[in-house]
Each structure stands twice: as C-alpha cells, then as structure tokens.
Amino acid sequence: MDLNNIFGARIYEFETISSTNDFSKQLCMDNPKNGTIVIANEQTKGKGRLGKTWSSIKNKGLYFSIIFKCDNNKSKYETLTPIISLAITDLLKDYSLNPKIKWPNDILINNKKVCGILCEFKQSPHGNFIICGIGVNLYQDISDFNEELRDKATSISINTNIKIIRNEFINNLISNLHVYYNNFNSSSLKPFLNKYTELSSLLNKEVSLKINGYDTSGNVIGFNELGYLLLKTENKVIEISSGEVTLKNTYKK
Ligand code: BTN
C-alpha cells in the first residue's frame, strides 16, 4: 500500500490481524516512535469501547491505530479523542458530508455511527504510550451490518456518491491528524473548542448518562478545555470525563 506517515514513523500493514490496538500494545514493548501506525484490512477481534466488539469485515472499513508517546501529561491524553474527532470530521466534509461528533468517541452521519475511536493507555519499560484506534466504515452496505447494528451504523458509501479511494482517504486523515496534533501542544482544546462544540450532536439536548454504573441526566450545555462534557442537572453543572450517553428529548431553552 502506498501510505505516507507524516509523523515520520513506521507503518505496519497487515492483511488480517486480531486488533490493531492489541498489536500496538505489543509494539510498545519495543519503544516505537511517536506516530507509529498499525493498519489492517480486516480484524478478527476488533475492539470497541466498554468491552464491545467492532465489526471489521475485510475490504470494507478502515481499521488503524496510531501510537503516541505520553509525556506524563494526562490532559494530553484527555484531549486526543476530541482532536482525532475533528481531524475525521474535517475529512468527511471533503466528501460533502455533514458529520456530527457524539461525545465522547463517535462520529455520526445522519444520526448513525460511521466511525468510532478507542484510546487506550499502555505502560512499558520505555515509558507510557497512548494508543488511539480508529475504525471508519467506508464501503459497507446496510446488509454488511448485523441486525443489531442496522439501525445505528452507516458507512461513507451509503451517504455519498463521491468515490472513496482508500489510500487517499488514509493519507489525508493522517495529514489532518498531524496538523491538529502539532497545534495542540498546550494540551488544551481551547483553540478548537468552538468548532468542537458546534459539531456536537448533543449540544442543548437532554440526555441520560451512565458513569461507572451510576445514572444521571440533564442538559448538555457544552464542553470544557479538556473535552469534558458539561451537564446541567437540576441544581448544578457537572463536568464529566467519560460515560455512555443516551439521548432523551430535544432540549428547548
Ligand atoms: C468504539 O466506537 O467503540 C470504538 C471503536 C474503535 C475501533 C477501532 S478499529 C481499529 C482499532 N483496533 C481495534 O480493535 N479497535 C480500534
């Protein structure tokens, strides 16, 4: 495959692999360079968040992980998922699509999930690493999704007539990621916060949230500089670092 890694690190390519995130974790034991990429055409054990699986059919999606060295700055870890979300939404707009970000890690088109991000932390004798796994549905038809996913998932091809050339898509995504990553040394989302907020599918919506098995609900009023969700409950505003959101009704001010 003709791929460029603008991060100047190695690219590991596989036809089939269990999970690009799991392989990346093993690589951390060999001290990979910042920006190392692992990509596969198929995953047999694709992983999603919260112990879910990620459907990773051959030649249909983009399955890759990027390894970042972690300089003990936890806030950088927090902001990576929003940064990646922005890099992806920029690219989807080039395909005349109108993507939305569903905090914390989903990209939606027409309210259906087209991409998921799974960032994992890995300690090794060489230091700490963050592995960001990105799954994008490129060429799936509705029939490629199982019954459970059919109402919730979509692909780029389902939504546009523009031809997607896989390598071009990956190279542009890596390039977008590089630009955002280089502009984000401050570990704060501040320069991108307005953009991130405008792209949110949850803004001004009433939601219920599961956080570590505990339920809460309220209205989403925005995000902070670390990408935490700001939830207005009955009597206060709480900042939430991660959780599973379910949309209730449209919030009317
Ligand atoms: C989610 O939405 O739950 C996150 C999905 C992340 C899927 C990607 S595909 C590449 C990488 N390898 C994995 O096993 N998972 C991530």
The predicted-structure confidence for 63-93, as pLDDT tens digits, reads as follows 999 999 987 665 577 889 999 999 999 999 9
pLDDT value, residue 74: 59
Pocket test for ligand 1, best of 12, 21, 60, 106 (most atoms within 8 A of CB): 21
Distance CA 70, CA 65 (A): 15
Q: Which residues of the chain have pLDDT under 50?
A: 250-253
Ligand 1 site, residue 47, Cβ cutoff 6 A = yes
pLDDT value, residue 1: 67
pTM (2 d.p.): 0.94
- For ligand 1, the distance from its centroid to the CA atom of residue 133, given in whole angstroms, is 5
Ligand 1 site, residue 205, Cβ cutoff 6 A = no
Of 67, 79, 93, the closest CA to residue 172 belongs to: 93
pLDDT value, residue 251: 41
